[in-house]
Structure 1
């Protein structure tokens, strides 16, 4: 039964992180390049309801769903096609989603009335999962900014240790001033 959800009990017992192949993204539960530990997003069977909620928001094909989950976590979690497509097939077998013709060869999955009915009692847990994903995305973003700040500090220290002429100091200051202005405008 759990195989439909991308969870395999034997792999969970023996895998390095106990996630059974779908509980973490490609980074094994850690942010990229030694970032913070991000933990587990989904318990057994949660992926079904997460996907239902996403196709309720907007009909989607499998790769769009993968990208959406990756974006919501700032890249910390990216489910594999081997977890997404079998779960979509299960949802279709249960009558919770239906395929419709999308643009190109990809089929869109749309939620059905039965899917909405099945999702309704699960909305609080799905909302909690989305909140954890958003928090993780925020944490990953903060980590990336801190890493960038450390890179700039290191580059400045290294450059300053070799000595700076007046012209070089002015050039570095101009670069930092320009960067500060661009940072202030991000998101505007």
Structure 2
């Protein structure tokens, strides 16, 4: 008798331990996170990382400096320019797996607070053995960041439109004297300098 699909454990219910990474290779907020060997083009938002790729990215970030789980989420967000934000339900099971594999060691924070994750010698060796894949992933993340970062932030767009409107209104009031033209040019040059230095 068919009883429908069995219920999977929800990825947000704490730090579950899984027998292997396919347990948490599931659709996570519209992103298919599959183990190695599966397609990555996906539908809709597409797949950003296969689970094996995510392990390498997390190891790379922890190799750079020990990090808490939320720092890994922010670190990945920064690398991809906000194009993708992994949920705790993806990050923490991956960290658990890396601990089980001996690639990462975790220590409790002060007062039993958030755990800090450090890379082990085994983890560093695994990272180096997979260096070409790691470099390819970092390049793909940087490219995603460049593409996503092509649109200015909302406040920048507002300011750009405000500047264009101010110019149109001022120039529409009639011819400028040399003094007025110099003042407007100086204001625009000052804005350009400020943007370059930002």
What TM-score does the superposition give when structure 1 sets the normalisation length? Answer: 0.69
| Largest Rg, 1 or 2 | 2
Structure 1 CA distance for aligned equivalents of residues 48 and 151 of structure 2 = 19
User: 8 Å contact 2:66–2:117 — kept in the other structure?
Assistant: yes
Work out whether 1:91 is the aligned partner of 2:109.
no
Structure 1 residue 184, shift from structure 2 partner: 2.7
Which runs of no fewer than 5 residues in structure 2 stay unpaired?
Answer: 1-19, 35-39
Structure 1 residue 178, shift from structure 2 partner: 2.1
Structure 1 residue 141, shift from structure 2 partner: 3.0
User: 8 Å contact 1:76–1:140 — kept in the other structure?
Assistant: yes
User: 8 Å contact 1:98–1:110 — kept in the other structure?
Assistant: yes
1:185 aligned partner: 197
CA 1:49–1:183 in structure 2 vs 1: closer, same or farther (change >3 Å)? same
2:173 aligned partner: 164
Structure number with the higher helix fraction is: 1
CA 1:154–1:185 in structure 2 vs 1: closer, same or farther (change >3 Å)? closer
Structure 1 residue 113, shift from structure 2 partner: 1.8
1:113 is aligned, of 121, 127, 137, to 121
Secondary structure of the 1:106 match is coil
CA-to-partner distance for each residue in 1:166-188, whole Å, 9 max, x for gaps? 599777655423211112323xx
What TM-score does the superposition give when structure 2 sets the normalisation length? Answer: 0.66
Count, aligned residues: 166
Secondary structure of the 2:151 match is helix
2:37 aligned partner: none
Work out whether 1:143 is the aligned partner of 2:151.
yes
